[in-house]
Structure 1
Amino acid sequence: MHELSLAQLRADLDAKKVSARELVTYFLQRIKSLDSDLNSFITVVDEAMVLTEAEAADRRIAAGQADVLTGIPYAHKDIFCTAGVRTTCASRMLENFIAPYDATVHEKLKASGAVMLGK
């Protein structure tokens, strides 16, 4: 799945070949298996929270209310504030900072039903 384009993932979600929950679980597993070598994530979002968002995306897809990004897992740079998730900007000074609000880009991705896995 990690080699599929966004358009291919969207088509598979719409055709019910895969669920958002399955996609998220797959990518979380890849993060767990590869990140210790790659060190590409500063923060991985709590699995229970991510699965809840994926299930909400699956309900949206089933209701025919999917946006282009609904159910698509993503990660973004650690410079964007995300309420309830650590945002460090890769700085030791901010290593425990948890933003009280979401950056606009994150708000828009969240509203579209995309599922953030980490930063």
Structure 2
Amino acid sequence: MLSELKATLLAGSAEEYLSRLYERIERGKLNAFTTLARETALKEAKRFDQNPGKGLLAGVPIAIKECISTKGIESNCSSRILQGYIPPYDAHVIERLRAEGAIIMGKTNMDEFAMGTSTETSAFGPTRNPWDIDCVPGGSSGGSAACV
């Protein structure tokens, strides 16, 4: 599957590459993502395919840790209390990523409010280690680690 993804990326279709990534995420059992920004990200990828940008990350899909504010994309800090919260602004790092043409594909699972060391305390369920799903990926950034 990874070779298919690489071939798609090399063929030059950001939209197709991103679609395949989403398919792979949905088939998986890792629970690495809490939010997928599929509609917005695919629109951005299509726009990139039609008119490639010149930023350092132009057309590159990026996953963002759940606690980082992303304008227009749910930011719940892996907590039910913030479920549905959509920030009206981007964190500075997101502004910089967007300015370089990165495509935000979703938000990664973490320990609720980043208060933990195993990514087992997320309100949306634990993240699994891709090498052994009976294990945790560790850290409050386990969703980020697992999706990489």
TM-score range, shorter chain: 0.7 to 0.9
For residues 47 and 106 of structure 2, the distance between their equivalents in structure 1, rounded to whole angstroms, comes to 18
* Residue in 2 that maps onto 1:27: 21
Is the partner of 2:105 in helix, strand or coil? strand
Is 1:53 paired with 2:44?
yes
Q: Which runs of 4+ in 1 moved over 6 A?
A: none
Give the secondary-structure state (helix, strand or coil) at the position aligned to 1:43. Answer: strand
Where relative contact order (Cα < 8 A, 6+ residues apart) is larger, the structure is 1
Q: Which is richer in helix?
A: 1
Find the aligned partners of 2:104 and 2:51 in 1 and give their Cα distance: 16
Report Cα offsets for 1:57-88 as digits up to 9, x if no partner.
22342xxx422211111101011111111101
Do the aligned residues in 2 keep the contact of 1:24 with 1:54 (CA within 8 Å)? yes
Which structure 2 residues correspond to residues 1-119 of structure 1 after superposition, within 5 A? 2=2, 12=10, 17-34=11-28, 37-45=29-37, 47-61=38-52, 65-119=53-107
Structure 1 pair 77/18, CA: closer, same or farther in 2 (3 Å)?
A: same
**Larger-gyration structure (1/2):** 2
SS in 2 for 1:102: coil
- Any conservation in 2 of the 1:60–1:66 contact (CA below 8 Å)? no
- Name the Cα RMSD after superposition: 2.3
Q: Percent of aligned positions with the same letter in both sequences?
A: 37
Bigger proportion of residues as strand: 2
Q: Given that residues 56 and 100 in structure 2 are in contact (C-alpha distance below 8 angstroms), is that contact kept between their aligned partners in structure 1? A: yes
In the alignment, the residues of structure 2 paired with residue 104 and residue 56 of structure 1 have an alpha-carbon distance, to the nearest angstrom, of 23
Q: CA deviation at 1:2?
A: 4.3
Q: Which runs of 5+ in 1 are unaligned?
A: none
With over 3 angstroms needed to count, the CA separation of the structure-2 counterparts of 1:70 and 1:87, relative to structure 1, is same
Which sections of structure 2, spanning at least 5 residues, go unmatched? 108-148
